[in-house]
């Protein structure tokens, strides 16, 4: 758990790729990560924390979802005041407007949740870290096709390695981050 308090007025939560087909095919824990992410969103709603949902511009079957056709995992469906972004690539920053939204809103702390840990989560954390954001990953609100890859990325296995998320982000569980967001 982090020793530094989390200020909801300076925090944004990014929910990455919580679409039903992605959870069905690319999350080893199926819907568990989405259920944990929904709990984190519930804790953040009603605070000054911003919430943004980022989804792919092109799905793996090469279809282009429209705003109306995006099949959000129901517990993760955005509510009216939550931002929605589409991404042309793997990470949440490039070509999305996410960074300008964060800077305009004076947010310097990002809470990241998503599928897949080795894809959109890792890419987003690396970019955000390089841009000077404080990065927090909710490990049980993330998933990967390969549960071992998820474990390697979310648990310190070699202090000399730069592959792990723990080198660039604080790692918390749903229960830990929920306690911080409601303070």
Question: Is 104 inside any structural domain?
Answer: yes
Give 122-156 pLDDT, tens digit per residue: 999 999 999 999 999 999 999 999 999 999 899 88
- According to DSSP, the residues that pair with 14 across neighbouring strands are 52, 112
d(CA 21, CA 7): 34
User: What residues contact residue 108 under an 8 Å CB cut-off, 6+ apart?
Assistant: 10, 102, 132, 133, 134
pLDDT-derived band of residue 178, with 50, 70 and 90 as boundaries?
confident
Question: Is 2 inside any structural domain?
Answer: no
Question: Is 7 inside any structural domain?
Answer: no
Question: Is 6 inside any structural domain?
Answer: no
Query: To which residue do tokens 């804790």 refer?
Result: 43
Question: Is 33 inside any structural domain?
Answer: yes
Domain that holds residue 156: 14-181
pLDDT score at 69: 52
pLDDT score at 2: 47
Average pLDDT, the chain: 90
Give 110-128 pLDDT, tens digit per residue: 999 999 999 999 999 999 9
CA 93 to chain centre: 12
- Return the DSSP state at 138: E
Give 21-64 pLDDT, tens digit per residue: 889 888 998 899 999 999 999 999 989 999 999 999 865 555 55
Question: Is 29 inside any structural domain?
Answer: yes
Question: Is 176 inside any structural domain?
Answer: yes
- The answer to pTM > 0.75 is yes
CATH of the domain at 162: 3.40.50.850
Q: Is residue 179 a contact partner of residue 62, using CB atoms and an 8 Å limit?
A: no
Maximal C-alpha separation, the chain: 45
Say how many domains are in the chain: 1
Q: Is residue 82 a contact partner of residue 51, using CB atoms and an 8 Å limit?
A: yes
Question: Is 50 inside any structural domain?
Answer: yes
- Return the DSSP state at 19: B
Q: Is the pLDDT of residue 1 over 70?
A: no
pLDDT-derived band of residue 76, with 50, 70 and 90 as boundaries?
very high
What's the average model confidence in pLDDT over 8-21? Answer: 96
């Amino acid at each position: 758990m982090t020793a530094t308090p989390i200020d909801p007025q300076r925090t944004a939560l990014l929910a990455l790729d919580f679409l039903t087909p992605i959870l069905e095919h690319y999350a080893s824990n199926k819907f568990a990560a989405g259920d944990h992410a929904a709990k984190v969103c519930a804790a953040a709603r009603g605070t000054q924390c911003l919430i943004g949902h980022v989804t792919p511009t092109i799905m793996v079957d090469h279809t282009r979802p429209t705003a109306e056709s995006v099949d959000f995992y129901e517990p993760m469906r955005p509510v009216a005041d939550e931002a929605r972004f589409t991404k042309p690539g793997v990470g949440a920053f490039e070509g999305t407007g996410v960074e300008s939204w964060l800077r305009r809103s004076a947010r310097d702390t990002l809470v990241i949740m998503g599928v897949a840990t080795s894809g959109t989560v890792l890419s987003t954390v690396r970019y955000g870290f390089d841009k000077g954001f404080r990065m927090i990953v909710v490990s049980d609100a993330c998933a990967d096709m390969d549960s071992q890859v998820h474990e390697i990325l979310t648990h310190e296995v070699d202090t000399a390695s730069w592959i792990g998320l723990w080198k660039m982000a604080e790692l918390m569980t749903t229960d830990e981050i929920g306690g911080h967001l409601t303070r």
